[in-house]
Amino acid sequence: MTGPGAELLSARGIAVWFPVGSAVTARLRHRPRLLRAVDGVDLDLARGEALALVGESGSGKSTLALALAGLRPVNRGSITYDGRPLPTRRSRADRRRIQIVFQDPYSSLNPRLTVGGMLRELIAVHKVVPPREQAAFAAELLRLVGLGEDALRAYPRQFSGGQRQRVALARALALRPEVLVADEPVSALDVSVQATILNLLADLRRELGPSLLLISHNLAVVRHLCDRTAVMYLGRIVEVGPTERLFTSPAHPYTRGLLAAIPRLAPAGGQEPGGTAGPAVAGDMPSALSVPSGCRFRTRCPHARERCAAEDPALASAPGEPGHLAACHFAFEGIAAGAP
Ligand SMILES: Nc1ncnc2c1ncn2[C@@H]1O[C@H](COP(=O)(O)OP(=O)(O)OP(=O)(O)O)[C@@H](O)[C@H]1O
Ligand code: SF4
Ligand SMILES: [Mg+2]
């Protein structure tokens, strides 16, 4: 378990692997080469909570989000919704419950439909409201995301990036989701509009109350918006806990490295060896085609020792802190706190 009670969405041991290379190579090897994008993840999202997913590029965040939203099949593990196992092919009602907003709002909107046409089609297909209420519902959605009714007659190309992301949010909210997944929702936008879209996201959550899974590279935003934070490394969750706890007392050396890269967020006295200049986690993440044995972080970990190559550490909770877990053999023995 990685979260408090009343879980809405729960993943257990989920894995998403991509076969790579040609069919001929796969034959010669007797099996395809597998890229382990998500490689055994347990994660819970409680009703109404905001959970952040952070980690370096390529750690598997988007693949995990797509799997949770039912947009990518899983190779292993199970996903439950409100205690009910979700089948690989989800019903329309189950697809409706989890909506995702992507980084690039342009490629995720149909350029041939006006915003009004797009919203009406969606509302009709999913029978969100009776036909006579559809127009008013579409107008209300646009009001919620800060766009006027004029937007109903406009095409996506007529909007700025920030406005397009507002449209993408309106489309996601049209289905009255219980879970909203936002995958880097502002990183493709001008810095000047990023804050307004993030504030909108926070307002919508307050007003409408869906759970939020927010993927972001911006740790300051994560700290501001999210109740809990999960840190992903090479296909696994390596630490998860209440956001403030994780930011002030990170237990996993990787989390400490991520935070140390941002001096103003780093916990006092908590810099990893190597100081604050440049990336605080030395070296590059290994390929997901060849995950290191034992602890997958060991090739970059300043504290790695013999046991780390032999044993894969499970997520385990901090003493007296059941909601704060880390996957490091020594996380709660003082090593991650900088002790010799
Ligand atoms: N469709 C795909 N086919 C093959 N490999 C893929 C596919 N999608 C993702 N991958 C690989 O899976 C791994 C995880 O990718 P993913 O996009 O989930 O990472 P991410 O954490 O979202 O990264 P970023 O922060 O850059 O968005 C990477 O090694 C990536 O190259
Ligand atoms: S288990 Fe070992 S290699 Fe992995 S994070 Fe902990 S100390 Fe580092
Ligand atoms: Mg991604």
CA of residue 112 to ligand 2 center, whole Å: 51
Domain coordinates in residue numbering, the chain: 7-112+155-326
- Residues in contact with ligand 1 by the CB-under-6-Å rule are 18, 35, 37, 55, 57-63, 288
Can you give the pLDDT at residue 274?
36
C-alpha 57 to ligand 3 mean position (Å):
7
Is it the case that residue 334 has pLDDT exceeding 60? yes
Higher pLDDT, 4 or 42: 42
Q: Are 62 and 18 contacting, i.e. CB atoms less than 8 angstroms apart?
A: no
What average pLDDT score do residues 129-158 get? 94
- Whole-number Å distance, alpha carbon 276 to ligand 2 midpoint, is 21
Q: Is there an atom of ligand 2 within 6 Å of 296 CB?
A: no
Mean pLDDT, to the nearest integer, of 279-285? 84
DSSP 252: S
Terminal CA-to-CA distance of the chain, rounded, Å?
30
301 lines ligand 2 (CB under 6 A): yes
For the Cβ of 295 lying below 6 angstroms from any atom of ligand 2, the answer is: yes
Answer whether CATH 3.40.50.300 is correct for domain 7-112+155-326. Answer: yes
Per-residue pLDDT band at 156 (split at 50, 70, 90): very high
Beta strands in the chain (DSSP E): 7-20, 33-46, 50-54, 76-81, 84-85, 98-101, 179-183, 211-215, 228-233, 236-242, 316-318, 321-326
User: How close is the Cα of 303 to the center of ligand 2, in Å?
Assistant: 6
Q: Tell me: the pLDDT tens digits for 37-83?
A: 999 999 999 999 999 999 999 999 999 999 999 999 999 999 999 99
Coil, strand or helix at 157:
helix
Residues contacting 76, CB < 8 A, separation 6+: 13, 14, 15, 40
* Tokens 């002030």 sit on residue: 248
Is the pLDDT score of 335 beyond 60?
no
pTM of the model: 0.92
State which of 14, 53, 56, 61 you would mutate to test the pocket of ligand 1, scoring each by most atoms of that ligand within 8 A of its C-beta.
Answer: 61
Distance from the alpha carbon of residue 319 to the mean position of ligand 1, in angstroms: 34
pLDDT in tens, 182-234: 999 999 999 989 999 999 999 999 999 999 999 999 999 999 999 999 999 99
The Cα–Cα gap between 44 and 46 comes to 6
Helices of type H across 69-218: 92-97, 115-125, 134-144, 161-174, 191-208
